[in-house]
Amino acid sequence: MNETLKTVSDGLAEIVERVSASLIRVEARKRLPASGIAWSEDGLIITSHHVVQRDENIQIGLPSGETVTATLVGRDPSTDLALLRAEARLNVPNWVTEGLRVGHMVLALGRPGNTAQATQGIISALGDKAWRTPNGGDVDFYLQTDVVMYPGFSGGPLVDVSGRVVGLNTSALMRGVSLTLPVATLSRVASALAEHGHIKRGYLGVGAQPARLPEGLAEELSQETGLLIVTVEGGSPADQGGLLMGDTIIGLDGQAVRSLDELLSLLSSERVGREVAVRIMRGGELHELGVVIGERA
């Protein structure tokens, strides 16, 4: 038994040592530094938005012990992610995107000081559907652990027992819950930040509330609710596209709209600047209008 425990213990220590080569210290706030993960060999680092409290004079600590200056490439408060760039060659870790299960043992790593730190837990909840954060960000799936997030661990990696990085840990998206953003979300957000410096979000320019559809129409569409437009901003994409107060939105770009969350999800970055078909009920009849989706400021 002792030999088995020693083997497991040595294996975990080797994982920490290996992954710590990709673990970055992020000094971008007044209090304790936080952590980041090497994202590309040419100097990109991904970390948590909430630990980057200044846009300038950002310092990062490399695994070698060297401290260098980094610049802010972009940030997305809705997913609590930020992308930094440093003039350094980085060691990118191996990432895992599938095969995760509730109960799998994991390690959370951080580098708030000069050396790597670690804590152990399990995956306690794992969703198979997209999840919207309280700030409106899109996360590819929900991943929760029972890992204790020590100060300075935000922005660091969650690692499986094979030494692969499962995602990035954050303590800011939900109070009292340790959440991990999966690599699919990191990749999507990092690509957008590298290209634009922010996440493009679609803008329609309406105020709306859920409304029940007439019984006959609900049966025809297999959809019980739509969004009743209660306000239309002057000069907005909705105004220019001909949407009126009192219309009920039931679809956008071929997708059903039953709730405000569904509408917000459909106002995604790839639809910004595109004309899409908005299906509405007006005066008890179905209509389809072409609306060019704007970009939220």
Residue 47, judged by CB atoms within 10 A of its CB (0-12, 13-18, 19+), counts as buried
| Residue 137 predicted with pLDDT over 80 | yes
pLDDT in tens, 103-114: 999 999 999 999
pLDDT band of residue 247 (cuts 50, 70, 90) is very high
pLDDT at 245: 96
d(CA 60, CA 29): 12
For residue 21, report the phi and psi dihedrals to the nearest 5 degrees.
-70, -15
Active site residues: 50, 80, 154
Q: What percent of the chain has pLDDT over 90?
A: 78
d(CA 234, CA 148): 49
Q: What's the average model confidence in pLDDT over 160-171?
A: 95
Residue 184, judged by CB atoms within 10 A of its CB (0-12, 13-18, 19+), counts as middle
CA dihedral 129, 73, 135, 296 (to 10 degrees): -100
Overall pTM surpassing 0.85 (yes/no): no
d(CA 60, CA 82): 14
Which candidate, 85, 75, 79, 73, places its Cα nearest to that of 24? 85
| Residue 128 predicted with pLDDT over 90 | no
Structure tokens at 45: 């680092």
Domain annotation for the chain: domains and CATH numbers: 1-196 (2.40.10.120), 202-295 (2.30.42.10)
Least reliable range by pLDDT among 1-10, 26-35, 84-93: 1-10
pLDDT in tens, 174-230: 888 889 999 999 999 999 999 989 888 899 999 999 999 999 899 999 999 999 999
pLDDT band of residue 5 (cuts 50, 70, 90) is confident
pLDDT at 27: 98
